[in-house]
Structures are given as C-alpha cells and as structure tokens.
C-alpha cells in the first residue's frame, strides 16, 4: 500500500519536473553564442536571478532524487508473501480403519478385435485378393 502511494507521488513529481524543465528558457543556446558572440565569458552564461521556475526545478529535482532513493530501499525488502501470517491447515482427524474390506477385482478389458493378417503385395500380372466381408 505504501509503495503504491509513493510510486504515484513519484510519478507526479517526475511529470512536474519534466514540465518545469521544458518551460525554462535556454541560456546561451542561440547562434551568436556558438561563434563567441555571447554577452558573458562565464561557463554557463550570464548569472540571472533565481526565478520561480529555477526554484521549482531545484525543489523537484531534490524530491526526485529522494523519491528514487526511498523507492529503491522499499523495493529491496520485496513485497510481503501472499500467505504471510497464515498458519498451516489443521491436520485431518484420524479415521478408524474400515473393517475387513474385500479386494476389488480389476475391470475386464474390452473384447479385442481379431487382427487380420496382411497379404503380400500382388505380383505383376496377378489380381490382389478381394477383402473379406463380414
């Protein structure tokens, strides 16, 4: 139960993180920065103030990592057994042995049909024998 709830929350966090990352504007990805025409010489572009989207990305990224860690710890334990906590069935009460029983005769096999001998193939110039009629 707990694993299902955490998995659902984790999926929602993943989807929100995906949306937030895709909504952000790229930094320095235009054609001018490709040829050295960028306005800043820093490695990751100009430093901008933290917007709502960058803060949301940070929070959702941290929740993503914590959720992955938590689900992996829960998953190591494995699900509980289906029969966990169920005791063994009660043994059947011993019945008294029946008094002298007669042995059962084996069933008789059905009447066997006689096997007809096969005739050798007809040699050239001879007619094959006609099959017998019953």
Q: Tens of pLDDT along 37-56?
A: 555 555 555 556 678 888 99
Count of domains for the chain: 1
99 within domain boundaries: no
pLDDT of res. 127: 66
Of 131, 6, 4, the residue nearest 67 (C-alpha):
6
Residue at 121 is within a domain = no
Mean pLDDT value across residues 66-82: 80
Judge whether 57 lies within some domain: yes
- Residue 71 belongs to what domain range? 51-77
Asked, for residue 93, whether it belongs to a domain, the answer is: no
pLDDT at residue 113, as a whole number? 65
Q: Tell me, yes or no, if the pTM score tops 0.85.
A: no
pLDDT at res. 7: 92
Residue 30 resides in a domain: no
Q: CA 50 to CA 125: how far, in whole Å?
A: 109
62: in domain: yes
The mean pLDDT value of the chain amounts to 74
pLDDT exceeds cutoff 80 at 130? no
């Amino acid at each position: 139960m707990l694993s299902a709830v955490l998995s659902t929350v984790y999926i929602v966090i993943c989807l929100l993180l995906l949306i937030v990352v895709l909504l952000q504007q790229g930094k320095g990805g235009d054609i001018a920065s490709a040829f050295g025409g960028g306005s800043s010489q820093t490695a990751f572009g100009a430093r901008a103030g933290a917007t709502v989207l960058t803060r949301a990305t940070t929070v959702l990224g941290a929740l993503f990592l914590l959720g992955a860690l938590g689900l992996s710890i829960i998953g190591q334990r494995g699900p509980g057994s289906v029969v966990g906590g169920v005791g063994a069935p009660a043994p059947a009460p011993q019945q008294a042995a029946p008094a002298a029983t007669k042995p059962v005769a084996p069933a008789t096999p059905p009447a066997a049909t006689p096997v007809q001998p096969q005739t050798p193939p007809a040699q050239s110039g001879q007619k094959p024998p006609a099959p017998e009629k019953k």
